[in-house]
A and B are shown apart, each in its own frame.
Chain A
Amino acid sequence: MKTESVLEKVFATGELAVTGECGPPRGALPDVVKNKAAMLKGYVDAVNVTDNQTAMVRMSSFAASVFLRQMDLHPVFQMVTRDRNRLAMQSDIIGAYSHGINTMLCLSGDHTQFGDHAMAANVHDLDSVQLIQTVRGMRDEGRFQGGAEIKNPPRMFIGAAANPFADPFELRVARLAKKVKAGVDFIQTQCIYNIDKFETWMEGVRERGLHEEVYIMAGITPMKSAGMARYMKKKVPGMDVPDELVKRMEGVPKEKQAQEGIDICVESIERLREVEGVSGFHIMAIEWEEKVPEIVQRAGLYPRPQV
């Protein structure tokens, strides 16, 4: 084992791992974090704590992750390169590790243009691949990015994102390979709605043997309504929602659309778990955390292994 991460231990058992997501609130509201996290407890192995997602100021991923640790949950500490330079990122990494946070996700982050601080500077001192390299260097070589020795280096289990649906599609396996080369341990994908396209991507991943070098978690987001399906299709960059799915959501009465969304989500997991190289599921039930237990149970991912 490279780390003490529970997520790494679950992967090592060979069982499908499950992660959830907790988006911190836009205010000093610790109870919001705790309530969201409490809904996930026992149903996921670890919980992603997002870092100013959609480029909006929120409680820091670090602070919210500490609340999760205090609840004996295992945060996946997300870090975007948009907001901080390498000094700030590395200090947060050793700070987080000092609080028992041993799993993180390295991202470049949504562009500031999409948030409510479009006037802010985009830092991008490092990109996501370079952040992976940095965290690996801190762990495996015990060195800061600048070269100096770290006393008690942080042993982080290192995650990153992959979007099989962005363009150019032919480059998307190579992009994953680049993250593997940089030292990533696990991947969480963009929400999967176009399963055929995901399977094509996974074929490419298997041809290169990348699924044996990195744990790949399939990203899942239940849709609450036909409106949300249309919004995701049209407005969210890098999202691929097939027409059939939008039609299926539109085809049921409004009051039953939420349940239809959960059904689709469970069916997706059932199909995706058969794809060779899928090591788990990352369930992003955005502001709908209370549905995660149902999804996990119905998809046959419950109970979670004790490691």
Chain B
Amino acid sequence: MITAERKPMGEIMESIDGCGRILLVGCNECVTVCAAGGRKEVALLASALQMASMKKGRVLDVREMTLERQCDPEYVEELAPHIGQVDAVLSMACGCGVQEIARRFKTTRVFPALNTKFMGASEGPGIWAERCQGCGDCLLGITGGICPIARCAKRLMNGPCGGSSNGRCEISDDVDCAWHLIWERMKELGIEDRYEDVISAKDWRAGRGGGPRRIVREDLE
């Protein structure tokens, strides 16, 4: 999923400074799962914003909505009847959702309430970790199901570097050495000999190197 974290309250308040009425919009997808921008977080932020405004002697009208998917034009359309009644939209979706609202409502200001972080998975209650950088040319089949691009601090494709210690990365004891994990997994799979296959220089065009990416499926158009 796409993970996100709420921005600091001060930054959010600053962004909507001068607005009397805002539409606070959550998303039912990834940001709900990572407890950053679902219905519950929308309600919490709405109260927090109103309280912070009251402390400053102002009244802030916050309308709450949570869309099924903020990155999908079909659901974003649901905002249309409300958009003319507010000064700005504050989005609690990932960057995709914020941009979809901005694209649809050209004369309405939209501010992000979250910092979009990464594509990751849950490692336990309240913990998410990066798993994929969307390089567009998946290597997981030859790296034992563990991605060195997303999970090695130096994104080494032929690691580990000399800083791997007790299974941990040199940058932090909280970070697993991706190549240690890959090696352990290769042993479990009985494919240690594959470690010595040199992975050649990557073609980053499949990723961000080729500029902004699109997928066009003619069969679905």
Contacts and interface: CB of A to CB of B under 8 A. Distances in A.
Interface of A: 81-82, 86, 108-111, 113, 122, 124-130, 133-134, 145, 161-163, 165-168, 171, 174-175, 177-178, 181-182, 190, 237-238
Contacts of A133: 198, 200-201
B118 to A, nearest CB: 15
B213 interface: no
B196 A178 contact: yes
A111 B163 CA distance: 10
A86 B156 CA distance: 14
Interface of B: 153-167, 170-171, 177, 179-180, 183-184, 192, 195-196, 198-201, 204
A134 B158 CA distance: 14
A181 B196 contact: yes
Contacts of A127: 154-159
A181 B198 contact: yes
Nearest to B204: A125
8 contacts: A108-B161, A110-B163, A129-B158, A130-B158, A134-B201, A167-B165, A178-B195, A178-B198
A130 B183 contact: no
The 7 A-B pairs at the shortest CB distance, nearest first, are namely A163-B162, A129-B158, A237-B170, A237-B163, A238-B162, A127-B156, A130-B201
B170 A238 contact: yes
A111 B154 contact: yes
Contacts of B170: 111, 237-238
A192 B201 CA distance: 31
Given A86-B201, A126-B201, A129-B198, A175 B160 contact: yes
A238 B165 contact: yes
Given A237-B163, A238-B162, A238-B164, 4 more contacts: A126-B201, A127-B156, A178-B198, A181-B196
Contacts of A166: 160-165
A174 B155 contact: no
A200 B156 CA distance: 26
Contact of A182 (B155, B156, B159, B198): B198
B134 to A, nearest CB: 16
Nearest to A109: B154
Contacts of B204: 125
A174 B165 contact: no
Contacts of A109: 154
A137 to B, nearest CB: 10
A167 B161 contact: no
A155 to B, nearest CB: 21
B162 A161 contact: yes
A182 B201 CA distance: 11
A168 B183 contact: yes
B221 to A, nearest CB: 34
Contacts of B192: 174
Contacts of A167: 160, 164-167, 177, 180
Most chain B beta-carbon contacts within 10 A, residue among A108, A174, A182: A108
Contacts of B177: 167
A122 B156 CA distance: 11
A129 B192 CA distance: 18
Nearest to A190: B162
B180 A168 contact: yes
A140 to B, nearest CB: 15
Contact of A130 (B153, B161, B163, B200): B200
B162 A178 contact: no
B22 to A, nearest CB: 32
A225 to B, nearest CB: 24
Nearest to B153: A111
A176 to B, nearest CB: 10
A174 B195 contact: yes
Nearest to B165: A167
Contacts of B171: 111, 113
A126 B156 CA distance: 8
Most chain B beta-carbon contacts within 10 A, residue among A86, A161, A178: A178
B160 A171 contact: yes
A27 B161 CA distance: 29
A103 to B, nearest CB: 21
B25 to A, nearest CB: 32
A238 B171 CA distance: 12
Contacts of B165: 166-167, 237-238
Nearest to A163: B162
Given A237-B170, A238-B164, A171 B198 contact: no
A177 B157 CA distance: 15
B189 to A, nearest CB: 15
A190 B156 CA distance: 19
A83 to B, nearest CB: 12
A237 B165 CA distance: 8
Contacts of B155: 122, 124, 127
A124 B154 contact: yes
